[in-house]
């Protein structure tokens, strides 16, 4: 069974949220392959059936530590309830 076979209409009715981040400015500069792979998740969501308008890529927090959430606008966009992001991530796997 392929990953695409696991995606149901119920999945596609929800947004695909891709939260991209690296913890330090140094990681942003030094780990370009990681960034490329994280951004490629948007294309993967499209391949799995999500329309472009239903794919949210949040990259506002690149280079910001995860020690606290109050200064991370991308994370706060979906609230501090990490289950929302975890649910979105599980849609992509």
Q: Which residue has the higher pLDDT, 86 or 21?
A: 21
**For 69-93, b where at least 16 C-beta lie within 10 A, e where not — what string?**
eeebebbeebeeeeeebeebeebbe
Chain segment 22-42, per-residue pLDDT in tens: 777 788 788 888 888 889 999
Continuous segment of H or E residues that includes residue 43: helix 32-47
Give the distance, in angstroms, between the CA of residue 32 and the centroid of all CA atoms in the same chain.
16
Q: What is the pLDDT of residue 45?
A: 94
| Whole-prediction pTM | 0.65
Among 23, 30, 80, 83, the active-site one is 23
82 catalytic? Reply is no
**Averaged pLDDT for residues 70-77:** 60
């Amino acid at each position: 069974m392929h990953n695409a076979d696991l995606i149901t209409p119920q999945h596609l009715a929800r947004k695909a949220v891709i939260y991209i981040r690296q913890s330090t400015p140094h990681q942003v500069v030094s780990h370009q392959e990681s960034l490329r792979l994280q951004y490629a998740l948007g294309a993967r969501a499209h391949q799995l059936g999500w329309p472009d308008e239903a794919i949210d890529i949040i990259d506002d927090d690149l280079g910001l530590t995860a020690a606290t959430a109050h200064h991370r606008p991308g994370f706060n966009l979906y609230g501090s309830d990490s289950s929302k992001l975890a649910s979105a991530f599980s849609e992509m796997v």
